[in-house]
Chains A and B, each alone.
Chain A
Amino acid sequence: KQEVTQIPAALSVPEGENLVLNCSFTDSAIYNLQWFRQDPGKGLTSLLLIQSSQREQTSGRLNASLDKSSGRSTLYIAASQPGDSATYLCAVGGSNYKLTFGKGTLLTVNP
């Protein structure tokens, strides 16, 4: 059974800092990995999708990497802003693209 762990559970940083969120998974037989953002009381917004054959994806200040063999992914956020404050969820795609989610990292960026 796939298990996804996100570390840290919560992170508080000053504005402008670069930061890394970590995601690990137990079964390396994955189809893809998605990073989502969730604002309080809201739905999920897809940030980045990495296919199993890819090593990384970039979108603006966000960069996600994937190391399937070690069962790890990182989400790098450059020059953080208060508007980046949210919960970040990592999800691993298995057969039929079913996603297994981690519990998320609650990020607070302080002005």
Chain B
Amino acid sequence: NAGVTQTPKFRILKIGQSMTLQCTQDMNHNYMYWYRQDPGMGLKLIYYSVGAGITDKGEVPNGYNVSRSTTEDFPLRLELAAPSQTSVYFCASSLQTGVGEQFFGPGTRLTVL
């Protein structure tokens, strides 16, 4: 199993541009999450999903959108990039029931200039 994969690894955007961060997991996990990590800070939850077709906002959802059409994929969309969205983005997944341990992808480092 590859676990949780994210693409791209790095990206530079200009203000106002849009992009989609891709996240895929092959563990058949129902729960998926998007976090952002700013320097010297812990991770903050952007959006999460408890299953295909179901998404909900986390702590810092403004400026982002998500969709969950399949169990495996959970893309994060930035519509109008702003410098405040410069961060490292992590995708994670966990089982629906039981342990609830989260498994993280390697991250996408995004810079908005």
Q: List residues of B (65-106) whose CB comes within 8 Å of A's CBs.
A: 90, 92, 94, 99-106
Taking a contact as CB atoms under 8 Å apart, the answer to whether B102 and A102 are in contact is no
Enumerate chain A residues within 8 angstroms of B50, measured Cβ to Cβ.
96
Taking a contact as CB atoms under 8 Å apart, the answer to whether B43 and A42 are in contact is no
Taking a contact as CB atoms under 8 Å apart, the answer to whether A101 and B42 are in contact is yes
Taking a contact as CB atoms under 8 Å apart, the answer to whether B43 and A97 are in contact is no
Q: Does A44 contact B (CB under 8 A)?
A: yes
Report the interface size class on chain B.
20 to 34
Enumerate chain A residues within 8 angstroms of B41, measured Cβ to Cβ.
103
The chain A residue with its CB closest to the CB of B94 is: A97
Taking a contact as CB atoms under 8 Å apart, the answer to whether A46 and B44 are in contact is no
Enumerate chain B residues within 8 angstroms of A102, measured Cβ to Cβ.
42
Taking a contact as CB atoms under 8 Å apart, the answer to whether B104 and A43 are in contact is yes
A-side interface residues, number (CB < 8 Å):
24
Q: Please measure, in the bound complex, the distance between the C-alpha atom of A49 and the C-alpha atom of B94, giving whole angstroms.
A: 12
Taking a contact as CB atoms under 8 Å apart, the answer to whether B31 and A46 are in contact is no
Enumerate chain A residues within 8 angstroms of B94, measured Cβ to Cβ.
97
Q: Does A26 contact B (CB under 8 A)?
A: no
Contact of B100 among A32, A89, A100, A103 (CB under 8 A): A32
Taking a contact as CB atoms under 8 Å apart, the answer to whether B42 and A89 are in contact is yes
Q: List residues of B (40-54) whose CB comes within 8 Å of A's CBs.
A: 40-45, 48, 50
Q: Chain A, 1-12, contact with B by CB distance < 8 Å: what is the 0/1 string?
A: 000100000000
Taking a contact as CB atoms under 8 Å apart, the answer to whether B43 and A98 are in contact is no
Q: Which 6 A-B pairs have the closest CB atoms?
A: A101-B42, A97-B100, A44-B104, A43-B106, A101-B43, A49-B101
**What are 20 contact pairs spanning A and B, CB under 8 A?**
A4-B42, A32-B101, A43-B106, A46-B101, A49-B99, A49-B101, A51-B99, A91-B102, A93-B100, A96-B31, A96-B48, A97-B94, A98-B48, A99-B33, A99-B102, A100-B45, A101-B44, A102-B42, A103-B41, A103-B42
